[in-house]
Protein backbone atom coordinates (compact mmCIF):
# COMPACT_ATOMS: atom_id res chain seq x y z
CA UNK A 1 0.00 0.00 0.00
CA UNK A 2 1.13 3.55 -0.74
CA UNK A 3 0.47 6.56 1.46
CA UNK A 4 -1.79 9.06 -0.25
CA UNK A 5 -1.88 12.38 1.62
CA UNK A 6 -5.22 14.18 1.88
CA UNK A 7 -5.94 16.87 -0.67
CA UNK A 8 -8.49 18.76 1.45
CA UNK A 9 -9.69 19.13 5.03
CA UNK A 10 -12.29 16.68 6.27
CA UNK A 11 -12.90 17.98 9.80
CA UNK A 12 -12.56 20.99 12.06
CA UNK A 13 -12.05 20.32 15.78
CA UNK A 14 -13.30 23.37 17.64
CA UNK A 15 -12.80 24.46 21.23
CA UNK A 16 -15.84 25.82 23.08
CA UNK A 17 -15.41 28.76 25.50
CA UNK A 18 -13.60 31.62 23.81
CA UNK A 19 -13.86 29.94 20.42
CA UNK A 20 -17.53 29.38 19.56
CA UNK A 21 -19.27 30.53 22.78
CA UNK A 22 -18.54 32.95 25.63
CA UNK A 23 -16.60 35.81 24.01
CA UNK A 24 -13.74 36.60 26.39
CA UNK A 25 -13.93 33.16 28.05
CA UNK A 26 -15.51 34.47 31.27
CA UNK A 27 -17.49 31.44 32.45
CA UNK A 28 -14.55 29.37 33.72
CA UNK A 29 -12.35 32.24 34.94
CA UNK A 30 -14.91 34.02 37.08
CA UNK A 31 -15.94 30.75 38.71
CA UNK A 32 -12.32 29.98 39.63
CA UNK A 33 -12.20 33.34 41.42
CA UNK A 34 -15.44 32.57 43.23
CA UNK A 35 -14.38 29.04 44.21
CA UNK A 36 -11.08 30.26 45.67
CA UNK A 37 -12.87 33.09 47.50
CA UNK A 38 -15.10 30.51 49.22
CA UNK A 39 -11.90 29.21 50.86
CA UNK A 40 -10.92 32.77 51.83
CA UNK A 41 -8.23 32.75 49.12
CA UNK A 42 -8.06 35.88 46.94
CA UNK A 43 -7.51 35.17 43.24
CA UNK A 44 -7.47 37.77 40.49
CA UNK A 45 -9.16 37.25 37.14
CA UNK A 46 -5.75 37.61 35.47
CA UNK A 47 -4.32 34.84 37.68
CA UNK A 48 -7.33 32.62 36.95
CA UNK A 49 -6.72 32.98 33.21
CA UNK A 50 -3.09 31.85 33.38
CA UNK A 51 -3.46 28.06 32.90
CA UNK A 52 -6.58 28.30 30.69
CA UNK A 53 -7.03 25.41 28.30
CA UNK A 54 -6.16 22.70 30.81
CA UNK A 55 -8.75 20.40 32.33
CA UNK A 56 -10.32 22.06 35.35
CA UNK A 57 -8.67 19.94 38.08
CA UNK A 58 -5.30 20.43 36.37
CA UNK A 59 -6.09 24.14 36.05
CA UNK A 60 -6.66 24.43 39.80
CA UNK A 61 -3.46 22.45 40.47
CA UNK A 62 -1.55 24.84 38.21
CA UNK A 63 -3.03 27.83 40.03
CA UNK A 64 -2.05 26.38 43.40
CA UNK A 65 1.48 25.84 42.11
CA UNK A 66 1.88 29.53 41.32
CA UNK A 67 4.19 31.00 44.01
CA UNK A 68 1.90 33.91 44.88
CA UNK A 69 -1.17 31.69 45.22
CA UNK A 70 0.75 29.04 47.17
CA UNK A 71 1.99 31.74 49.54
CA UNK A 72 -1.57 32.93 50.18
CA UNK A 73 -2.65 29.36 50.82
CA UNK A 74 0.19 28.81 53.29
CA UNK A 75 -0.68 32.01 55.15
CA UNK A 76 -4.31 30.92 55.38
CA UNK A 77 -3.86 27.22 56.21
CA UNK A 78 -0.28 26.90 57.42
CA UNK A 79 0.81 24.54 54.65
CA UNK A 80 1.29 24.37 50.90
CA UNK A 81 -1.72 23.11 48.91
CA UNK A 82 -1.85 19.34 48.44
CA UNK A 83 -3.71 17.34 45.80
CA UNK A 84 -6.43 16.81 48.41
CA UNK A 85 -6.79 20.59 48.69
CA UNK A 86 -6.97 20.86 44.91
CA UNK A 87 -9.73 18.26 44.90
CA UNK A 88 -11.62 20.19 47.59
CA UNK A 89 -11.40 23.36 45.48
CA UNK A 90 -12.49 21.39 42.41
CA UNK A 91 -15.53 20.05 44.27
CA UNK A 92 -16.44 23.61 45.18
CA UNK A 93 -15.80 24.81 41.63
CA UNK A 94 -17.92 22.19 39.84
CA UNK A 95 -21.42 22.97 41.17
CA UNK A 96 -20.75 26.68 40.76
CA UNK A 97 -19.66 26.09 37.17
CA UNK A 98 -22.71 23.97 36.33
CA UNK A 99 -24.99 26.55 37.95
CA UNK A 100 -23.51 29.62 36.29
CA UNK A 101 -22.09 28.49 32.94
CA UNK A 102 -25.31 29.59 31.27
CA UNK A 103 -24.57 33.20 32.19
CA UNK A 104 -21.73 33.16 29.64
CA UNK A 105 -23.03 30.83 26.93
CA UNK A 106 -23.89 33.17 24.05
CA UNK A 107 -22.53 32.25 20.64
CA UNK A 108 -19.57 34.34 19.54
CA UNK A 109 -20.60 36.74 16.74
CA UNK A 110 -19.95 35.15 13.36
CA UNK A 111 -19.48 31.63 14.77
CA UNK A 112 -22.69 30.09 13.41
CA UNK A 113 -22.10 31.55 9.97
CA UNK A 114 -18.47 30.39 9.90
CA UNK A 115 -19.37 26.86 11.00
CA UNK A 116 -22.15 26.66 8.40
CA UNK A 117 -19.61 27.73 5.79
CA UNK A 118 -17.25 24.92 6.86
CA UNK A 119 -20.08 22.41 6.63
CA UNK A 120 -20.88 23.65 3.13
CA UNK A 121 -17.26 22.85 2.28
CA UNK A 122 -17.85 19.27 3.41
CA UNK A 123 -16.15 19.44 6.82
CA UNK A 124 -17.39 17.49 9.82
CA UNK A 125 -17.41 19.46 13.07
CA UNK A 126 -15.76 17.92 16.12
CA UNK A 127 -15.23 19.68 19.41
CA UNK A 128 -13.45 19.45 22.74
CA UNK A 129 -13.12 21.52 25.88
CA UNK A 130 -11.45 21.86 29.23
CA UNK A 131 -14.93 21.41 30.71
CA UNK A 132 -15.79 18.01 32.20
CA UNK A 133 -18.86 16.13 30.96
CA UNK A 134 -21.15 17.45 33.72
CA UNK A 135 -20.57 21.01 32.49
CA UNK A 136 -20.42 20.14 28.79
CA UNK A 137 -23.90 18.62 28.90
CA UNK A 138 -25.33 21.99 29.92
CA UNK A 139 -23.14 23.95 27.50
CA UNK A 140 -24.17 21.66 24.61
CA UNK A 141 -27.87 22.07 25.41
CA UNK A 142 -27.60 25.86 25.45
CA UNK A 143 -25.61 25.87 22.21
CA UNK A 144 -28.15 23.57 20.56
CA UNK A 145 -30.92 26.04 21.39
CA UNK A 146 -28.81 28.72 19.67
CA UNK A 147 -28.37 26.54 16.55
CA UNK A 148 -24.91 25.00 17.13
CA UNK A 149 -24.84 21.20 17.04
CA UNK A 150 -21.36 19.77 16.37
CA UNK A 151 -21.04 16.24 15.05
CA UNK A 152 -19.10 15.12 18.12
CA UNK A 153 -18.10 16.46 21.54
CA UNK A 154 -15.31 15.22 23.82
CA UNK A 155 -15.18 16.47 27.43
CA UNK A 156 -11.94 16.69 29.39
CA UNK A 157 -12.82 13.79 31.71
CA UNK A 158 -13.67 11.43 28.85
CA UNK A 159 -10.02 10.79 27.95
CA UNK A 160 -7.05 9.62 30.06
CA UNK A 161 -5.35 13.02 29.82
CA UNK A 162 -6.69 16.42 28.85
CA UNK A 163 -4.93 19.15 26.92
CA UNK A 164 -2.11 19.70 26.02
CA UNK A 165 -2.29 15.95 25.40
CA UNK A 166 -3.69 15.15 21.90
CA UNK A 167 -6.22 12.69 23.36
CA UNK A 168 -9.38 14.79 22.94
CA UNK A 169 -8.54 15.81 19.39
CA UNK A 170 -7.73 12.20 18.47
CA UNK A 171 -10.94 10.96 20.12
CA UNK A 172 -12.77 13.21 17.66
CA UNK A 173 -10.79 11.74 14.76
CA UNK A 174 -11.88 8.25 15.77
CA UNK A 175 -15.53 9.15 16.36
CA UNK A 176 -15.82 11.14 13.12
CA UNK A 177 -14.09 8.33 11.17
CA UNK A 178 -11.43 10.63 9.75
CA UNK A 179 -8.75 8.68 7.90
CA UNK A 180 -5.84 11.12 8.27
CA UNK A 181 -5.08 13.64 11.01
CA UNK A 182 -3.54 15.90 8.35
CA UNK A 183 -7.09 16.39 7.06
CA UNK A 184 -8.09 18.07 10.34
CA UNK A 185 -7.74 21.60 11.66
CA UNK A 186 -7.77 22.35 15.40
CA UNK A 187 -9.12 25.77 16.39
CA UNK A 188 -8.57 27.14 19.90
CA UNK A 189 -7.87 30.30 21.90
CA UNK A 190 -5.31 28.82 24.32
CA UNK A 191 -1.75 27.55 24.26
CA UNK A 192 -2.71 24.06 25.54
CA UNK A 193 -5.27 23.84 22.73
CA UNK A 194 -2.64 24.70 20.15
CA UNK A 195 -0.26 22.11 21.57
CA UNK A 196 -3.09 19.58 21.51
CA UNK A 197 -3.57 20.13 17.79
CA UNK A 198 0.14 20.14 17.03
CA UNK A 199 0.70 16.91 18.96
CA UNK A 200 -2.24 15.33 17.16
CA UNK A 201 -0.59 16.11 13.80
CA UNK A 202 -3.28 18.59 12.71
CA UNK A 203 -3.32 22.04 11.21
CA UNK A 204 -3.76 24.59 13.97
CA UNK A 205 -5.49 27.97 14.07
CA UNK A 206 -5.15 30.23 17.12
CA UNK A 207 -7.77 32.86 17.96
CA UNK A 208 -6.44 36.15 19.30
CA UNK A 209 -9.39 38.20 20.42
CA UNK A 210 -12.43 36.06 21.26
CA UNK A 211 -10.92 34.12 24.14
CA UNK A 212 -8.54 34.00 27.01
CA UNK A 213 -5.60 35.93 25.51
CA UNK A 214 -7.47 39.22 25.23
CA UNK A 215 -10.03 38.49 27.95
CA UNK A 216 -12.48 41.24 27.00
CA UNK A 217 -16.22 41.16 26.45
CA UNK A 218 -17.54 41.62 22.92
CA UNK A 219 -18.58 45.17 23.78
CA UNK A 220 -15.17 46.10 25.20
CA UNK A 221 -13.44 44.48 22.23
CA UNK A 222 -15.60 46.51 19.84
CA UNK A 223 -14.57 49.68 21.67
CA UNK A 224 -10.84 49.12 21.09
CA UNK A 225 -9.14 51.52 18.71
CA UNK A 226 -7.20 50.37 15.66
CA UNK A 227 -3.96 51.09 17.51
CA UNK A 228 -5.08 49.12 20.58
CA UNK A 229 -6.00 46.11 18.45
CA UNK A 230 -2.66 46.25 16.64
CA UNK A 231 -0.79 46.31 19.95
CA UNK A 232 -2.88 43.42 21.26
CA UNK A 233 -2.19 41.37 18.12
CA UNK A 234 1.53 41.87 18.56
CA UNK A 235 1.41 40.82 22.23
CA UNK A 236 -0.82 37.77 21.67
CA UNK A 237 1.13 36.58 18.63
CA UNK A 238 4.30 36.62 20.75
CA UNK A 239 2.48 34.79 23.56
CA UNK A 240 1.14 32.01 21.33
CA UNK A 241 4.12 31.87 18.97
CA UNK A 242 6.03 29.18 20.91
CA UNK A 243 3.07 26.80 20.34
CA UNK A 244 3.72 27.16 16.59
CA UNK A 245 0.17 27.68 15.34
CA UNK A 246 -0.05 27.48 11.56
CA UNK A 247 -2.36 30.51 11.52
CA UNK A 248 -3.42 33.25 13.93
CA UNK A 249 -6.72 35.05 13.32
CA UNK A 250 -8.82 37.48 15.34
CA UNK A 251 -12.02 35.42 15.71
CA UNK A 252 -13.68 32.34 14.25
CA UNK A 253 -15.47 34.56 11.72
CA UNK A 254 -12.22 34.51 9.68
CA UNK A 255 -11.93 30.71 9.71
CA UNK A 256 -13.54 29.87 6.32
CA UNK A 257 -10.82 31.81 4.46
CA UNK A 258 -8.17 29.91 6.43
CA UNK A 259 -9.80 26.60 5.53
CA UNK A 260 -9.59 27.59 1.86
CA UNK A 261 -5.89 28.44 2.32
CA UNK A 262 -5.20 25.08 4.00
CA UNK A 263 -7.08 23.23 1.27
CA UNK A 264 -4.88 24.95 -1.31
CA UNK A 265 -1.76 23.86 0.60
CA UNK A 266 -3.00 20.28 0.90
CA UNK A 267 -3.72 20.24 -2.84
CA UNK A 268 -0.06 21.22 -3.39
CA UNK A 269 1.06 18.30 -1.25
CA UNK A 270 1.88 20.26 1.90
CA UNK A 271 1.27 18.62 5.29
CA UNK A 272 0.92 20.22 8.75
CA UNK A 273 3.91 18.52 10.39
CA UNK A 274 6.22 19.89 7.70
CA UNK A 275 5.62 23.46 8.91
Domain count, the chain: 2
The values of phi and psi at residue 241, to 5°, are -55, -40
- Kindly state whether residue 215 falls inside one of the protein's structural domains: yes
Using 50 as the pLDDT threshold, list the residues of the chain that sit under it: none
- Kindly state whether residue 1 falls inside one of the protein's structural domains: no
- Is residue 200 within 8 A of residue 161, CB to CB? The reply is no
Domain co-membership, 201 together with 248: yes
> pTM of the prediction?
0.89
Q: Please work out, in degrees rounded to the nearest 5, the angle formed at the alpha carbon of residue 33 by the alpha carbons of 43 and 209.
A: 100
Burial class (CB in 10 A: 0-12, 13-18, 19+), 160: exposed
Element (H, E) at 115: helix 111-120
What 58-61 contacts at long range (C-beta under 8 Å, 24+ apart), as own/partner pairs, is 58/162, 59/28, 59/32, 59/130, 60/32, 60/35, 60/86, 60/89, 60/90, 60/93, 61/86
pLDDT of residue 159: 95
Identify the domain containing residue 48 by its residue range.
27-103
Domain co-membership, 142 together with 235: yes
- Kindly state whether residue 2 falls inside one of the protein's structural domains: no
Q: Name the DSSP class of 184.
A: E
Q: Which residues pair with 126 in a beta bridge?
A: 13
Domain co-membership, 119 together with 198: yes
Task: With CA atoms as reference, report the closest residue to 184 among 197, 166, 165, 167.
Answer: 197
Task: With CA atoms as reference, report the closest residue to 172 among 12, 58, 8.
Answer: 12
Query: Hey, which residues are catalytic here?
Result: 15, 56
- Kindly state whether residue 6 falls inside one of the protein's structural domains: no
- Kindly state whether residue 207 falls inside one of the protein's structural domains: yes
CATH number assigned to the domain comprising residue 199: 3.40.50.1000
Residue range 71-119, pLDDT digits in tens: 999 999 999 999 999 999 999 988 888 888 888 889 999 999 999 999 9
- Rounded to 10 degrees, what is the CA torsion of 62, 68, 71, 75? -120
Q: Which of 84, 103, 122 is the last residue of a domain?
A: 103
| Residue 97, SS3 per DSSP | helix
Q: How far apart are CA 6 and CA 94, in angstroms?
A: 41
Which residues, in sequence order, are CB contacts of 211 under 8 Å at separation 6+?
Answer: 15, 17, 18, 19, 23, 24, 25, 52, 188, 189, 190
- Strand pairing category for 11-14 and 203-207: unpaired
Domain co-membership, 182 together with 250: yes
- Kindly state whether residue 200 falls inside one of the protein's structural domains: yes
- Kindly state whether residue 81 falls inside one of the protein's structural domains: yes
Q: How far apart are CA 87 and CA 109, in angstroms?
A: 35
Domain co-membership, 90 together with 221: no
In the 3-class helix/strand/coil scheme, how is 219-269 assigned residue by residue? HHHHCCCHHHHHHHHHHHHHHHHHHCCCEEECCHHHHHHHHHHHHHHHHCC
Domain co-membership, 80 together with 192: no
Domain co-membership, 92 together with 155: no
Q: Please work out, in degrees rounded to the nearest 5, the angle formed at the alpha carbon of residue 170 by the alpha carbons of 165 and 176.
A: 155
pLDDT of residue 158: 96
First to last CA, the chain: 26
Q: Please work out, in degrees rounded to the nearest 5, the angle formed at the alpha carbon of residue 233 by the alpha carbons of 153 and 162.
A: 25
Longest Cα separation, the chain? 64
Amino acid sequence: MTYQPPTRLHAAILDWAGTVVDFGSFAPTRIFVEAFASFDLPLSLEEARGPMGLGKWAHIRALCDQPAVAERFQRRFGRLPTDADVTALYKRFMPLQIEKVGEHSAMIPGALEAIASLQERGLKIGSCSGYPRAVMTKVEALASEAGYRPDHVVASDEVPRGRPSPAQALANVIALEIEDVAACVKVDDTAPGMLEGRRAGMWTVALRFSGNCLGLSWEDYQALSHEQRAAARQRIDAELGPCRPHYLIDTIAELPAIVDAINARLARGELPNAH
